[in-house]
Structures are given as C-alpha cells and as structure tokens.
Structure 1
C-alpha cells in the first residue's frame, strides 16, 4: 500500500489548545479521505511550542539543533502539510512564523498545504487569506483553496457547523496530492424541501 506522510504543524501555546484540537480533526479527515482511496497514511504531529528554545537559538546562530533538524526534515520530507496557527493581532503567531523562518525558502516548493487558524471571534477569519496564504505563496507551497478557521463559537454545541469545512479542505488536500482538480460542492444540488423549511 502506498503510504502518504502528512506533517501537521500546530502552534498553539497552551495544553490543550484549540489549535491542536483543530489540527487533530483535520488530520483525521485527511486520513479518512486517503483511506477511502485505499491509501495508507502516517501523521507526523509537530507542536511548535515544544521547539521554541531551539528555534530561537537557530535564528541567533544560523544552525538547528539535532532535534530541530529532525523536525524540519520531517516537514520537508512529508507529502503534504496541515498547518494551524492561533490568531494574534489579526495574523499568525510569532512562534508559528519563527518555525517557517528557519526553513530554506525552497523547502516547501510544490508541496500541498492545508491552511487553518483559530481565534476568539469570527471577525479574524480573513487571517487565512491575508496572512497565511501569502506566507505559503512566498514559500512556493501549494495551499488548497479551502482554509479552515475555527472561532470559539465553533466548538461545543456548534461543532457540527465546522465539519463540512474540514471535510471540504481535507478532500482538496488529498486531490492535490494526486494532482487532481477538486470538485466543488454545490449547496444547491440537494436543497432543503420547501415544506421542511416551513416546518422548521
């Protein structure tokens, strides 16, 4: 069985964090999509906070430690990436940016990436388009069309509303792995019957 390696980079600062929770759900959805195609997968989870000191030293000295080098090689050697950052000042976190600053600017060239972010309010959802997408375009990666933003209101009783975005983005990442054009889901293909709308 052809196994795909998916590196998941999450930059949450707390344990547990909403960024890690979103990362786990995205990884599970990608694994399910691959499994549905008869393809195995290996998920390599990277918590950036665990490498904060090594990242700082790398920026100061220009050389990664042995453990950080191993992590960076995991990212550059993966078939695809899932990246999740908490939102700070309407952008990705400094820790998240620091991780990608120490990568060679060609290291992610041509690599499919699923972009995701978390935040306290829906007002910051454009962080995906105005911060993360330009960063990965600069790194010559291939972000999939659908990014996933999860606000505080997307958890708990409202978690079901997040699921379609996760499924859509996961499908696009797997399609990108196979150089396919993802099929857009038309919400009007299966409209809710008018009688059901009247009764709701």
Structure 2
C-alpha cells in the first residue's frame, strides 16, 4: 500500500516535512513511499495543466494513506496547500484515500485547526478522514510524546482503513 506525505510549508525541507514524514512512519511502520514538498512545484500550482502538479495529484490519488501537513498560518493551513487541494475534483478527488490532517504551530491557541479547517476540505474532496487531526508545537514537536502517542492510538485504525482499499 502506498503512503504519501504532502507538505504545504513554503520553506523547503521544513520541520513540517520532518513531522509529516515521522507521522507517516509511526502510523505505518515504514518510511513513506512519496514525499511531496509543494514548494518545489512552484508556479505550476497557480493554474491547471502543469505536468509536475498533475503527477503529484495522481500520486496522492493512488495512495492508500496521505498525511497532509501544514504549518498554521492565520489559524488555518497555508495557501500553498490550498492551491494544491484546488487541483482535486470535489467529492471524488480523494476517494479511497485515508487522509490524515497534521498542522504545526507556535503555541496551543490553534490546536483545533487541523480538525476545524483542514479536515473539512479533505472530507469535501472525498477523503476518508476517520482519524482526528494532529496539532504539534513546531519548535518542540520532536521532543514531546504527542506524535508517538497519537500514532500508537490511531495506527490500528489507519491499518484497518488501508486494508479496505
């Protein structure tokens, strides 16, 4: 089963990328098959028909599980991630994909952002969003138990959902 991480941070090779990759590994027991760092797609995201963007969309659609990772900007996910999600057809664009929302932020004030802002759009696109979103403090995400605790709790659910694909 294919596992992909989509990263909506405008900084390449960000902490968001590291956290998204770590979450995918903890949920599945292996490194993700693909990591799509959206900043690398550049201006191709601003329209339709770009070959690299189309390939990234296809990779996501063919994945069993996708971690959608974004820093928190103004209490929501980034415009970069929004531009990518706009490439998917509403209702069916993420059909049969287990979509896991992950957001990082500076403090606990936006801890509900993954569930309140990112999860609804992933659901609207047809993603299976049975797992709750995960919010991590960006400066300390790798030091605390939150990611490992989340993965331990939700790995059986993710595994079962991927097996249904």
Q: What is the deviation of 1:29? A: 1.1
Tell whether the 8 Å contact from 1:113 to 1:173 is kept in structure 2 after alignment. no
- Give the alignment's TM-score, normalised by structure 1: 0.74
Partner of 1:165: 150
Residues 30 and 102 of structure 1, relative CA distance in 2, 3 Å threshold: same
Higher helix share: 1
Q: Give the secondary structure class of the aligned counterpart of 2:26.
A: helix
Instruction: State how far apart, in whole Å, the 2-side matches of 1:69 and 1:137 are.
Output: 21
Q: What is the deviation of 1:31? A: 3.2
Partner of 1:182: none
Tell whether the 8 Å contact from 2:88 to 2:125 is kept in structure 1 after alignment. no
Runs (4+) of structure 1 moved beyond 6 Å? Answer: none
Q: What is the deviation of 1:124? A: 0.6
* Higher radius of gyration, 1 or 2: 1
Aligned counterpart in structure 2 of residue 80 of structure 1, from 56, 65, 70? 65
Q: What is the deviation of 1:153? A: 5.3
Q: What are structure 2's unaligned runs of at least 5 residues?
A: none
Q: What is the deviation of 1:178? A: 2.2
Asked whether 1:97 is paired with 2:87, we answer no
Counting only pairs closer than 5 Å after superposition, residues 159-198 of structure 1 correspond to structure 2 as 159-179=144-164
Partner of 2:112: 126
Tell whether the 8 Å contact from 1:114 to 1:173 is kept in structure 2 after alignment. no
CA RMSD between the two structures: 2.0
- CA offsets per residue over residues 102-151 of structure 1, 9 Å max, x none? 11222212321111111111111110121011111211211132321111
- CA offsets per residue over residues 148-186 of structure 1, 9 Å max, x none? 111135335x4234321133334322221124xxxxxxx
Partner of 1:45: 35
Asked whether 1:26 is paired with 2:23, we answer yes
